[in-house]
Chain A
């Protein structure tokens, strides 16, 4: 088992341009079933046997897909998420970095009203992978191994670090999700934890948070009340100065809120094992399984 994506996932690639093609090759190599792509003005052509349409609605008319991945450039990416939902994708993974915050706020407001059953992952994220079944995104597939640990992270390469630490210890993963580094993202920790709670394959979860916002505190409240599996967490940015954006648009301590210390305290009070050293995520998980 796994969450959200698996062998049955039929993927639409929105924005099958140069970047989209590069990552589509790697997704196909991993075993992901890509059934269609979109690229404005290129409808009717194909790439590597994938039929290309001008937009997601045209794709829907001819192909059955249940998930989409968005590589569309930042200026049009939020609109592409909406289009994917309108065309029937139930899981939408937005990889694109640099989307204006208010664009995502507008689209999420609309999705909540019109498509409450659509799951958005990202934007500004590496994507989602259920090892040895389905990879949607830009993460290196080979570092993953199928197994009992769920991983949720606001970061990209730091997620790979956590995955790698597990895999070298022989601990595989059920599903790994990069939720994205922007101020407003789709699924967050508290939305994904219930899915891992329900998933019989998942025996423990690693949460990789960072400064800014309150997603970690909200997750802590849920874990304290309702999550029964062991959780290991790391919160990046302990030494970040206030008011400075640490790369990710969402990683900023503003008005004295969103510090690592507050997040660590909330998680520890919820019974989570918080590691201070990011090199110890895998070992801490191993000790709890």
Chain B
């Protein structure tokens, strides 16, 4: 799960990381009022969306007066913001953070992620802050300094001091940067983050080390033990179908194609998308309904897929292991009683009691297209999506 910058900064503040004073606003008037309240001669107006690359997309503006803050907020709120992460349609900006501006001398990058190969969290710092860190990693990998730490102990004093030195800081500023990194490591561990990032962390003209940006991604698997973080979820930022799928307990990702897929198991679901592409088609989604493909789950999955206007064909690919194929087939038939079939549906069943399962589908009278195996299913789904294959009553296509 992602949280907004202003939410991440609240967490930063609670852990003692210096952030600029700011006020969250939802209209140009509110933004103007916020600027008046903050005072000063420089402000930052920042669109609160989950997508990265806001700066380049026009979602971060500096303003030199209360009126300029109003103008900047007006240009953002209620309008789509397009960045390299949003796709061409962009995301509608609903919330804008107005902050006191923080003129700076230098900018740095500080981030913590899980290094999967080392099986340990790693702090990454760079003097090349304020730019896309992936670009730095590609072009100047030596400019990023990494240090692993023990998740049971946190980031040690000596390690933090060494990293601060790598940023070219000394004296009180190095101490401040080190404390920020240790606080960041504590947030990462105590809040179960999958990523925590300050880009940029700056050395201000007043000589203070300040986090002028904040990014936190959370481990979905650990949300159950963080109620305060669950409350930060912003459904308006989520793809509506992905949000609906999450309510059903499915793993679902929206894709660009026209073949709706329902599969049990994440690996098989990914492979189903691959084999459709291999056969010349294009999947509309990734959908893993999990191991237990019972009637309720199948019904919900059909609602999700058939409610998607882009879907021209549905492909059901189930490897019935412990859950037997006849049980799954009965689930499919029951689901089709309540969700009418509006597009061709190709069904591939394999596994325990497969013959019974196929017989149940054939005898159900629903116009299903039966597939013999994995490859056959993909071929038939692609043909059906192109209108080259029609189901016949009783499923004998």
Contacts and interface: CB of A to CB of B under 8 A. Distances in A.
Interface of A: 23, 26, 74-75, 98-103, 105-106, 108-110, 126, 138-140, 142-143, 153-161, 164, 181, 183-184, 208, 210-211, 213-214, 218, 234, 236-241, 243-251, 254-256, 276-280
Interface in B247-284: 251, 253, 255, 263-271, 273-275, 277-278, 283
The 5 closest A-B CB pairs, nearest first, are A155-B267, A247-B266, A157-B265, A158-B267, A100-B222
A143 B192 CA distance: 39
B117 interface: yes
Q: Which of A99, A156, A241 has the most CB atoms of chain B within a 10 A radius of its CB? A: A156
A218 B288 CA distance: 28
Main secondary structure of the interface of B (DSSP, over half): mixed
Contacts of B152: 106, 109-110
B224 A75 contact: yes
Contacts of B114: 101-102, 105, 183-184
A26 B323 CA distance: 12
Contact of B374 (A105, A106, A210, A279): A279
Contacts of A74: 221, 224
A102 to B, nearest CB: 6
A138 B319 CA distance: 13
Given A143-B321, A241-B253, 16 more contacts: A26-B322, A102-B189, A143-B351, A157-B268, A158-B268, A160-B319, A160-B321, A164-B351, A214-B117, A237-B270, A250-B116, A255-B133, A278-B275, A278-B374, A279-B374, A279-B378
Given A110-B152, A249-B220, A161 B271 contact: yes
Contact of A161 (B268, B286, B291): B268
A15 to B, nearest CB: 17
Contact of B150 (A109, A181, A240): A109
Interface in B306-321: 319-321
B253 A181 contact: no
B267 A154 contact: yes
A266 to B, nearest CB: 13
Interface residues of B, number: 56
A106 B253 contact: no
8 contacts: A100-B222, A109-B152, A156-B265, A183-B116, A184-B116, A238-B277, A240-B273, A246-B270
A181 B269 CA distance: 13
B270 A236 contact: yes
Contacts of B221: 74, 98-101, 249
Nearest to B150: A109
Contacts of A238: 274, 277
B120 interface: yes
B56 interface: no
A204 B55 CA distance: 52
Q: Which of A101, A237, A248 has the most CB atoms of chain B within a 10 A radius of its CB? A: A101
Interface of B: 85, 113-114, 116-117, 119-121, 133-134, 137-138, 150-152, 189, 192, 194, 219-222, 224-225, 251, 253, 255, 263-271, 273-275, 277-278, 283, 286, 288, 291, 319-322, 350-352, 373-375, 378
B27 to A, nearest CB: 31
Given A100-B192, A102-B151, A157-B268, A184 B119 contact: yes
Given A106-B152, A183-B114, A278-B374, A246 B219 contact: no
Nearest to B87: A241
Nearest to B85: A243
Nearest to A235: B274
Nearest to A139: B321
A247 B289 CA distance: 10
B271 A236 contact: yes
Contacts of B375: 277, 279-280
A245 B218 CA distance: 13
Nearest to B288: A247
B271 A158 contact: yes
A189 B113 CA distance: 23
Contact of A239 (B121, B222, B274): B274
Contacts of B194: 101
B275 A277 contact: yes
A279 B151 contact: no
Given A157-B264, A161-B374, A138 B251 contact: no
A218 B83 CA distance: 34
Nearest to B239: A244
A211 B220 contact: no
A155 B291 CA distance: 12
B269 A239 contact: no
A103 B116 CA distance: 13
